[in-house]
């Protein structure tokens, strides 16, 4: 089976390349193809002739999207629709990676795939519009929503927290936003299984065990040996950001279990996360250009949201 991965240098894509155990995966990043350029995509699909396409490329800086909605739309929505058209014309199946931020967080219980989307920020709106457009072009596509993605290399909440902890003794972290952290390697393995199962429709995949960003930070610092760093729980309004975040964005994984796939609780993944950091020079790498914030964090002066 020939598989094309678009977004191969991002937070998720780079580990997908590593986890794929066959020689039939072609990975491309933003330097190889601009998903906003339909002619580049046509040429790419003609060369690769994929049977499956995985679209993991996106502009995921939530606050950046709020400040530049046109870029968010062009990359996350128009770009995804371009990929869907190219996949359809090449007769390739498509798995599109989406987000928990298509929901507004008002439900209070885990979101099911069939729940109505109602994004409250530009990033979530661009992904929700992309989902709609992709479905219209490829009704049999697989849309995979995930949440709070993290990994050893790239901009994400744990890497920011650990970097702050190196120089500060007290961090202020939001405690009233609830979600499920998801380790990128575990999500990569899920995607591989879904592709092999010829998955279709909308599926949710996140690691079991809901928590707040504050809970997450405390677990990370404990696991990383930063026992002297205190974490102060604060409210969302105490750390204002340009983009609103859903207060509750936990995803139900019942749709994933339909395929016989279960993920590890996120606390059980922290050992592998820290092992990855050790293998990659303590997590201090150059960040790929298209890798951006996967969760609501942009920390300044010891504040993380």
Residue 300 CB burial class (10 angstroms; 0-12, 13-18, ≥19): exposed
pLDDT by residue (tens digit) across 105-152? 999 899 999 999 999 999 999 999 999 999 999 999 999 999 999 999
* φ, ψ at 28 (rounded to 5°): -130, 145
As given in the structure block, the two tokens for residue 190 are: 């899920």
pLDDT by residue (tens digit) across 157-215? 999 999 999 999 999 999 999 999 999 999 999 999 999 999 999 999 999 999 999 99
Beta strand extents in the chain (DSSP E only):
3-6, 25-28, 52-55, 93-99, 142-146, 149-150, 170-174, 178-179, 182-183, 201-204, 211-212, 230-234, 303-304
As a whole number, mean pLDDT of residues 83-92 equals 98
Which of helix, strand or coil describes residue 303?
A: strand
pLDDT higher than threshold 70 for residue 46: yes
As given in the structure block, the two tokens for residue 271 are: 């050992």
pLDDT higher than threshold 50 for residue 296: no
Rounded to whole angstroms, how far apart are CA atoms 7 and 35?
10
Domain locations in the chain as residue ranges: 3-212+237-304
- pLDDT at residue 280, as a whole number: 83
Chain CA centroid to CA 138, Å: 22
Rounded to whole angstroms, how far apart are CA atoms 147 and 253?
11
Considering the candidates 111, 123, 248, 273, report the single residue annotated as catalytic: 123
**Angle in degrees, CA 210, 189, 179, rounded to 5:** 15
Query: Annotated catalytic, 123?
Result: yes
CB 160 within 8 A of CB 184: no
- pLDDT at residue 88, as a whole number: 98
> Where do runs of H (alpha helix) occur along 173-281?
184-196, 213-223, 254-257, 266-279
How many angstroms separate the most distant Cα atoms in the chain? 57
- pLDDT at residue 21, as a whole number: 84
Which pTM does this prediction carry? 0.91
pLDDT by residue (tens digit) across 243-279? 999 999 999 999 999 999 999 999 999 999 999 999 9
**Angle in degrees, CA 172, 178, 182, rounded to 5:** 95
Please, what is the average pLDDT of the chain? 91
> Where do runs of H (alpha helix) occur along 51-197?
62-67, 69-72, 79-89, 122-137, 157-165, 184-196
As given in the structure block, the two tokens for residue 178 are: 């609830």
As given in the structure block, the two tokens for residue 244 are: 């609103």
pLDDT higher than threshold 50 for residue 32: yes
Which of helix, strand or coil describes residue 143?
A: strand
Report domain 3-212+237-304's class.
Answer: alpha beta
pLDDT higher than threshold 60 for residue 297: no
Lowest mean pLDDT, pick from 94-98, 118-122, 238-242, 271-275: 238-242
pLDDT higher than threshold 80 for residue 281: no
């Amino acid at each position: 089976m020939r598989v094309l991965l678009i977004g191969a240098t991002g937070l998720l894509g780079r580990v997908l390349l590593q986890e794929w155990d066959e020689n039939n995966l072609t990975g491309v990043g933003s330097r190889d193809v601009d998903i906003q350029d339909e002619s580049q995509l046509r040429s790419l699909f003609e060369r690769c002739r994929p049977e499956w396409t995985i679209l993991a490329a996106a502009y995921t800086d939530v606050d950046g999207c709020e400040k530049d909605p046109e870029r968010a739309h062009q990359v996350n929505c128009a770009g995804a629709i371009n990929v869907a058209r190219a996949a359809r014309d090449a007769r390739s199946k498509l798995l599109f990676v989406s987000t928990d931020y298509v929901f507004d967080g008002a439900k209070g219980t885990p979101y099911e795939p069939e729940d109505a989307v109602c994004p409250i920020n530009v990033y979530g709106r661009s992904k929700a519009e992309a989902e709609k457009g992709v479905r219209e072009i490829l009704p049999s596509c697989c849309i995979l929503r995930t949440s709070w993605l993290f990994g050893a290399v790239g901009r994400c909440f744990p890497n920011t927290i650990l970097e702050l902890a190196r120089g500060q003794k007290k961090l202020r972290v939001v405690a009233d936003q609830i979600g499920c952290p998801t380790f990128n390697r575990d999500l990569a393995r899920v995607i591989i299984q879904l592709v092999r199962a010829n998955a279709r429709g909308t599926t949710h995949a996140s690691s079991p065990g809901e928590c707040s960003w504050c809970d997450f930070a405390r677990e990370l610092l404990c696991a990383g040996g930063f026992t002297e760093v205190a974490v102060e729980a604060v409210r969302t309004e105490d750390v204002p950001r340009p983009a609103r975040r859903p207060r509750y964005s936990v995803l139900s994984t019942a749709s994933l279990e339909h395929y016989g796939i279960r993920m590890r609780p996120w606390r059980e993944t922290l050992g592998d996360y820290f092992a990855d950091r050790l293998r990659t020079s303590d997590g201090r790498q150059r960040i790929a250009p298209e890798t951006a914030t996967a969760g609501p964090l942009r920390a300044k002066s010891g504040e993380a949201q």
